[in-house]
Structure formats: C-alpha cells, structure tokens
Structure 1
Amino acid sequence: MAKEVMKTHDLALSSRPQIFSAKHLFYDCTDVVFSPYGAYWRHIRKICILELLSVKRVQSYTHVRVEEVARLVDRITESFPGTTNLTKLLGLYANDVLCRIAFGRDFSAGGDYDRHGFQKMLEEYQELLGGFSIGDFFPSMEFIHSLTGMKSRLQHTFQRFDNLFDEILRDHQKENKAPELHKYLVDVLLDILKNGYGDMPLTRDNVKAIILDMFAAGTDTTFITLDWGMTELVINQKAMERAQAEVRSIVGERKFVQETDLPHLPYLKAVIKEIFRLHPPAPVLVPRESMEDVTIDGYSIPAKTRFFVNAWSIGRDPESWVDPESFRPERFLNENSNVDFKGQDFELIPFGAGRRSCPAIAFGNASVELALAQLLHSFDWELPDGIQPRDLDMTEVFGITMHRIANLMVVAKPRFS
C-alpha cells in the first residue's frame, strides 16, 4: 500500500494538507516539509537538493562532524568513573553539528544551548506538530484551539524560533563572507535572498521557514537514531561486541575513526538499518494529500484525502521480517542484505519515498555513522550497577518524532587514556 501511495500514485499524492499547527509554526507552510505541491515547493526543494544538501556540500562539512565527535568523546570521558547521561550528550552533539553547519554557531559553548532553552523548544515543537488537532478535521471547530491553549502555545513557540532566526540572520548579514565551499547553510540562503535563484524570489520569511526545517528535522532525527541505537546495543551485548570488534579491527590503535573508515564497516551499517527498522525517528510519515481522485487497492479515493504512512508498523510487519520484534542487525547481512533505507525498498522507509522523501538522507546518515562508530571504538559500555536491561523504560515520547521517554544512563569506560 505504501508503494502504491509513494510510487505508483506519487505525483497525484504529492501535496500536503494544511495542518493547523504547521501553518502557525512554519510561516504559513512555506517550508519544504509542509508546503503544498506546486511551483514554489519545487523551487525550494531544488534549492535544498542542489545548494544545501548535495553530496559535495555534505562532504565539505566533514571537519565539523570530526570535531563534534571528538568533543562528544571528551564529554563522555569526563563523566567516568561516574554514570553518563548519554541521552543529554547525544542531544548536544546532534544540535552542535547542525548549528555549526547551518548557522556557523556553536550554541553549547557559553551556555547558549541552555540560555535559548533549545531542548525545550524542540520538544514543544515536536509535541505540537504531532498532536491531534480537531480543527484539521473539522475546520468550523478551529476556535477550540484558542480555548484549550494550543493556539497560544503555538504562537509562543513560533515567537521563540522567530526571534532566534532573526538574530542569526542579522549576524550573518553583518559578517564577512566565507569561501563558497565552506559557506554555512544560512549564508547560502541569504545569497539566494539577495541575488535570486531561478525565476522565483524568496522572502525573508521563506528563508526562516527553510531554516526551521533544518533545525527541527536535522537535530532530532540524528539524536533519536543514536539514542535508540546505543540503548539497543547496551541491551544486546552480542551485537555490541560484534560491532565493536568490527570498528576496532579497521581503526586499530588510532584514537579517532575517520570518515574513510566507514565504507569498511558493513555490520555497523546493518546496525543503523536495524535501528531505522525498529525505531524510525518519524514513526508516521508526514501526511500526504491527494490532488485528484485515485484508485488504490480497489478503493476509489477522492481528491483532498489525507494519507498517513505508518513506517513504524511497516518495519515490524511479520510478512516482511523474520522475528520482527527482535533487534537483529545481521538480518541485513543475510536474508535482507539487499534492503536499503533510501526509498527504493518499501519495507524500510524511515525517510519516506518518492517526491516527498526527505532530501537530507546523506546529511543525516553522515552524522549518525561517524558518531556511532566512534562511541563503539572509544568506550566499553555497561549499565550502572544494579540495573538490568529489563529495568530500562522503553516507552516512547508522544510527538511527530519519537525518542525514549527515559534518559539513557550508562557507564562508559574509556579505552584510550
């Protein structure tokens, strides 16, 4: 069914419903994720794919990922021999990578991360966007959002993001220009704002909407994948040992993993696929909306119908997967070795597929692979004294993306002094 929606009828189902919360948060849905299908959306998607998230651009930020992974290792090392709140440190890592690449700013230094209340802003945003909104289904009932306080929460969260982006844009308009290859993403967008791109001008609000997409989608997905990944590995010691042995055999006595090591780590790649299968960061993909009448699986479906694709249950479908509830990365070296997550294999679609698939797959994957390989290489991991794997709370937080409700507390023993 997902293949029918995202491949067979991809064009007819390429629009987005105008969701109440998205209209308030994303500058009237002028971002890449929630913008309805049309000339404007095609224009900004082209900018994202060719200018902001191209393979060349992603590779040009290798130094940022390398530096931030080293900083993550330092932070974890400092907490030994005590316990480490790994969830918090992974959140900082994901945020730092994204903020340095997008804005050229390091928010976790100097306490800005806490001063701006980033984590709170992101959590509030995820919850507001994932929530059930009665006005989306019964437009005449939209006034209820004013009574429940949802509208004022949306306005408050929007205002905080908007003030932050205004500050960032002001700073960048004042500063000297970086060389083309090492431009921050916000500078690329400011150039387009000033000089144009193709035949459609962007407004300042359009730029802020695109920045919010990166900020919100770029930090949370990386963080969730790493947090669930480390949780599953700590619980499944055999998988942990196999992944560590693979990384250490390739990296040897070098202290740091390099991005050139990553193609030689098939088991690590299998681990990441298994995390995407069991814990896709966005369990239900952003809804699509039909632009014309279609027939799917014998059902006649009228235009303006919403389609929700449940990536979470597709990843756990016993018809596609042997022992679907178990964490078994080796399935991707054996019976499912040809399955990938780039949108061609519909049994594994964490980034969606078709025209509305996530344009930042290369960006997200680079941030996850390097960090996970380094964590496995640098530390031996165990749960704190007296805590068994069965004691971990595996409940998921409610929202458009789903991380664990409980922080992952671990003991990380450094291998290199």
Structure 2
Amino acid sequence: MELAVASLSPISIATLFIFLFISHYFFQKWRHHQKVGNQQKQAISPPGAWPIIGHLHLLRKAKLPHHALATMADDYGPIFRLQLGTRSALVISNREMAKEALYHNDAAAASRPSFYGMKKFSYDYALFGLAPTSHYWREMRKIIISHLLSNQRVDMLKTVMFSQIEMSLNELYDAARRSNESGGVSVEMRRWFRDVALNTVLKIIMGKRCVGPNGCDEDAAKELQKTITESFRIMDGGLLSDFFPLFGWLGLDRDVKKIEKIAKRSDRVLQRWLEEHRRKRSGCGSLSLDTKENGDFMDSLITLHDRNKLPTCFDGDTIIKATILSMISGGTESTMVTLTWAISLMLNNPHTIEKAQQELDEIVGRERRVNESDINKLVYIQAIIKETMRLYPTAPLIGPREFLQDCMVGDYFVSKGTQLIPNVWKIQTDPKIWPDPFEFKPERFLTTHKDVELKGKNFELLPFGTGRRGCPGVAFALQMEQFILAGFLHLFDVKNMTSELIDMSERYGLANEKVTPLYVLVSPRLPSHIYA
C-alpha cells in the first residue's frame, strides 16, 4: 500500500485527497438526512451556506462570532441551525431556549464535541471539563465536587486565598511607595490581575507562590501560563480539523502540531511539580493520609491515587496533571478577564468607583483592611462583578455541548451528534429582560434584578453555564474575584492615564480578553500604617 501511494504523482495524490474530502462531506450530509427522515421539523438554517464549508465563512470573517450569531438571531429567531463544515450546530439565543436546551434537555445535551486541539491540550480528554460524557467524566466530576471544590473545602481555603491576595496588595503598595511619579505608579492591570490569580491558585493547588518578589518558581509558572495563553489563542476560532476531521486523520493541520508542542511544554512543568510534591510528601512520613488530603489540591489527588480512588481509564499521574491544568487555566484566565473588564468599565463610569469606595468606607472603614467577613456585606462590589460578567462574559458562547441522543428543543427536532452553541452574550443583553442592555449599571442587581444569581439557576445570566456541564468552581471563582476587587479598591485610588475613554475592544477566543493593555495610575488612598 505504501509503495502504491509513493508511486502516485502529486497531481494524483491531490485528486485522491479532494475526492475523499468531498465523498466524506456528502456521506455525512446523506447520513444526517437519513437520520432525520420523517421526524418533526427542524429549526431554520440561515441562507448563505456554501458547499463543503457550510456557514463557516460567515463566522470566520467575523472578528467576534458571538456578535455575528447575535445578528443572525435578530434575523432568524432565538433558535437556528448552522452547518460548520461536517458538523451540524444548534444556536440558542434567548432565556426560553436556554432553559429548553440546558435544563429540560440537560441529560441529552451533556457531552462535549470532539476537537483535535482540545484533545491534544487535555491529555486525550483526561481533563474532565473537556471530556465527553463517560464513566470517567462522571467519576471525576464527583471527585472534584466532593473533594476539591465542595462548599466546606472552599470555606477552608478562604484564609489561604485571602493571605495570598493580601501579599499581592502589599507588593503593589511597595511599588507605589517607591515610585517617584506624583500621580501614582503606572500598572498594567491585566498582567497584575493575572499574577495575583496565578499566585493564589498555585498556592491553593500546590502549596507554593511562584510569581513576584515572594515567588519560588517564577520561570516555571510563567512558562505554564504562556502555554495556556498560546493554546487558547490557537484554538480560539476552532482548528481546521475540528470542522473537517479528514485533515486531522491525514495529519495536514499545522495547528494540531503546534498544540502538540505546547502540550509537551506544559506537561514538563506539571510533571516536575508533581515529582517535587511526591518528594516533599515522602519526607513527611509522620503526617497521616487525612492530614495530607486536607492540604493543597495536589495532596488530595495524590492521596486519592494512593487509595486507588481515581478512575482507571488513565494512569494516576495523567489524571492529576490534567486536573491541575484544568484548575490553573480556568482559575487564572477567567479571573484576569473578568477583573480587567470590571476596572475598564468602572474607569469609563467613574461614579461607580466612587460608589464602590463609599461602600467600602462605610462597611470596612479606613482604619483596617477588608477581611473575609466583609465580603457578603459588600453588595455593590458583588453587583459590579455580576454586571461585568453580564456584559463581558469570559466565554460568550460558553463551552460547546453535544447532543447524546435525538431530542426536541422547543418545537424542533435535534439529532444526536449536533453541537449545541448557547450564545450567552446575546441572552445577557436581551432588551426584553435587561433595560439599557449595553450600559454598565451595577445598580440593576440591587433593584430590578436583585434576585438574579450567577450559579446557573437564572437562565438570563449564565456566565458559568448550568446543569451537568456548569462550572463546578463558581463559589471559588466568585470569592476570589470579589476579594481581589474589594481589596484593591479599598487600598488604592485608580485613575485613567489619559482623558480618553478606555478602549473596550474584545479579542474573541476561549477567553474573551480585552485587546489593548490596561495601563492605569494607582496610588494609596488609606493611612500608611494600614499597609504595614
């Protein structure tokens, strides 16, 4: 067979490839129509689909796919179908359809689509959040919810979280004090928020702080963070192989190879940290297993592995590294994105900074720092976080799902294997639910929308998703974001460096980042002894 292929001319090989490609496309289309048969009607499919690629060109030419899909929803309604290469997708764009698809059909739409880039990045889907529905996914979901992110465990972690954030605030004060600038020290907030989140998450996950003056492994931490960012950027619009699997089978997608190289780099860091952790544990023989399990997250996972309580689908080291990677990537990127947008929105609406600091001065005062008991009382700070996530959700289309079985969404038949794309950004800016939907009004969450929560029970606000595939770290993420924002605004004044509004351009991807850096002037606002 290899000899026969080698003897073909380049033109013959190209002709064979095109034939296979077109044959695969029409086979998939025929199979879909056979499956639908005489079933009930399907949702509308917008015009403009091209042969082979379907509607891909409509999304590829759009800088912000969630905006392009929102425009389609205005024209074709809150539920419609797209053909994305060989994949069929169902897009939902309002609260009612979100409830239909994500609540009434939660079990039917509980899987994840198979993407080549995700597979390489996630240790062949050992990273449970990207894994398809399976015994492994169910077992890991139980372990993470019960052992790592339970309400009791999150409460236990508050002291560690707060101490790490306090350390970062102290370092920022030292930088501001040393600065000779009269208006304060210039700080790039996106980088600062990322470092704060990374240090906090690493301390909780692995027991050590890595970035900054008090860090112990800065090069490795920054290398891991770099691999996560690079992976997100490559996978932001999907790889060619994701829409045309034939390219992946034949090894013709260069981006897949890039992801493979990035994954090897991140694995080297994670493997080294895991080996260091095991050596540290072996030197603490007097500690009981329970003591080790109640340590950092890596301790807990190693203990579960030693007790044979991890699934057997992958080797223990792979499961531990994949789980740690999931928590680091999810915990740092989402926090950085949300807080960067929050400060940007507040600088463009200065009265919100004044109102937040007034609340802090009333609840906390100016003679002590924010502590964990204050957070639940800081309702305006909480409202700022909610309003930021409403306008700029970290994942505007959240994680795509895949239907495990045929079902009905509303009045429409959806076949097994269809990808589900909830346009959360469109849902969260629906003028029927949110008056003045594109204005930054945290006050709405203290008045008209005070009962709307972020935990997936209100289908008009779903930045963390909902149901079986909802983010299990909601409580952890909110706690960290609220305390970082409250601590920062309490200790520092923040000002725009120019008279112009902050540029709010978005870079769409797995994390919906602000395009331009956010440089601001930061200066202490409380008496000097408070920072000691």
TM-score by length of 2: 0.74
Out of 239, 243, 262, which is 1:157 matched to? 262
**Alignment check: 8 A CA contact 2:401 2:421 kept:** yes
Look up the equivalent residue of 1:226 and give its one-letter code.
L
Corresponding residue for residue 21 of structure 1: 117
What is the CA deviation profile of residues 63-85 of structure 1, one whole-angstrom value per residue up to 9, with x for unaligned ones? 22222222222233213533122
Is 1:218 the equivalent of 2:324? no
Q: CA RMSD in A?
A: 1.9
The answer to whether the 8 Å contact 2:140/2:311 transfers is: no
Q: Contact 2:454 / 2:464 at 8 angstroms: preserved in 1? A: yes
Q: Structure 1 regions of 5+ residues with no counterpart?
A: none
Compared with structure 1, are the counterparts of its residues 125 and 199 closer, same or farther at alpha carbon in structure 2 (3 Å cutoff)? closer
> Are the counterparts in 2 of residues 57 and 181 from structure 1 also a CA contact under 8 Å?
no
Distance 1:127 1:396 in 2: 13
3-state SS in 2 of match to 1:413: strand
| 3-state SS of 2:520 partner | strand
Residue 186 of structure 2, aligned match among 83, 87, 93: 83
The 8 Å contact of residues 126 and 314 in structure 2, kept in 1 or not, is answered as no
Q: Distance in 2 between matches of 1:253 and 1:240?
A: 16
- What corresponds to 1:102 in structure 2? 205
Q: Distance in 2 between matches of 1:283 and 1:95?
A: 23
The aligned counterpart of 1:189 is: 301
Query: In structure 1, which of residues 126, 129, 137 is the aligned counterpart of residue 232 of structure 2?
Result: 126
8 Å contact 2:293–2:299 — kept in the other structure?
no
Provide the rounded CA distance (Å) in 1 between the counterparts of 2:366 and 2:299.
Answer: 39
Task: Say whether the 8 Å CA contact 2:292–2:303 is kept in structure 1.
Answer: no
From 292, 308, 312, give the equivalent of 2:405: 292
Q: 1:129 to 1:308 in 2, by over 3 A?
A: same
Matching residue's letter, 1:76: L
Shift of 1:113: 3.2
- How far apart are residue 233 of structure 1 and its match? 1.2
Alignment of 1:262-411 (within 5 A): 262-384=375-497, 387-390=498-501, 392-411=502-521
Partner SS, residue 61 of structure 1: helix
* Cα distance in 2 for residues equivalent to 1:180 and 1:166: 19
Deviation at 1:289, TM superposition (A): 0.6
The letter of the residue matching 2:484 is A
Overall identity of the aligned pairs, in %: 32
Q: Distance in 2 between matches of 1:339 and 1:406?
A: 31
Alpha-carbon distance, 1:187 to partner: 1.0
Cα deviation, residue 181, structure 1: 6.7
What secondary structure, in the 3-state scheme, does the structure 1 residue paired with 2:238 have?
A: coil
Distance change (3 Å), C-alpha of 1:202 and 1:258:
farther
Query: 2:370 aligned with 1:257, yes or no?
Result: yes
Matched, 1:171 2:276: yes
Stretch moving more, 197-206 or 24-33:
197-206
Distance 2:496 2:198 in 1: 25
How far apart are 1:160 and its partner, in Å? 1.1
**1:43 Cα deviation after fit:** 0.3
Please state if 1:40 is matched with 2:136: yes
Show the counterpart of 2:78. Answer: none
Q: Residues 403, 165 of structure 1: CA spacing in aligned structure 2 closer, same or farther, 3 A cutoff? A: same
Q: Is the 8 A contact 1:192 1:202 kept in 2?
A: no
1:255–1:378 contact (8 Å) kept in structure 2: no
Instruction: For 2:134 and 2:467, locate their aligned partners in 1 and report how far apart those are by CA, in whole Å.
Output: 15
Q: 1:344 to 1:258 in 2, by over 3 A?
A: same
Amino acid at match of 2:499: Q
Is the contact between residue 109 and residue 403 of structure 2 (CA under 8 Å) also seen in structure 1?
yes
Counterpart AA for 2:463: P
Maintained 8 Å contact 1:226/1:372? yes
1:135 paired to 2:245: no
Q: TM-score, normalised by structure 1?
A: 0.94
SS in 1 for 2:276: helix
Q: What is the number of residues matched between the two proteins?
A: 413
Structure 2 CA distance for aligned equivalents of residues 407 and 118 of structure 1? 21
Question: For the residues of structure 2 that align with 1:410 and 1:63, how far apart are their CA atoms?
Answer: 29
Greater RCO, CA 8 A, separation 6+: 1
Letter in 1 for 2:512: M
> Could you tell me how far apart the structure 1 residues matched to 2:199 and 2:322 are?
20
Which residue identity lines up with residue 234 of structure 1 in the other structure? L
Moved more, 200-209 or 45-54: 200-209
Residue range with higher mean Cα deviation, 359-368 or 176-185: 176-185
Say if 1:207 and 1:180 are closer, same or farther in 2 by CA, change over 3 A. closer
Paired amino acid for 1:28: D
Shift of 1:55: 1.4
Q: Residue 521 of structure 2 aligns to a residue in which SS?
A: strand
CA contact (8 A) 2:224 2:266 kept: no
Find runs of 4+ consecutive structure 1 residues off by over 4 angstroms. Answer: 198-202
In structure 1, what is the equivalent of residue 86 of structure 2?
none
- Give the 3 Å change call, closer, same or farther, for CA 264–153 of structure 1 in structure 2: same
Cα distance per residue 1:342-382 (max 9 Å; x no partner): 00001100000011100000111111011111111111111
Deviation string for 1:123-174 (max 9, x for gaps)? 1121233232222222112257x55531221011101111111111101111
Whether the 8 Å contact between 2:337 and 2:394 is mirrored in structure 1 is: yes
How far did residue 22 of structure 1 move?
A: 0.9
Query: What secondary structure, in the 3-state scheme, does the structure 2 residue paired with 1:175 have?
Result: helix
Q: In the alignment, which residue of structure 1 is the partner of 2:196? A: 93
For 2:160, what is the secondary structure of its paired residue? Answer: helix
The residue identity in structure 2 corresponding to 1:374 is G
- Equivalent residue for 1:412? 522
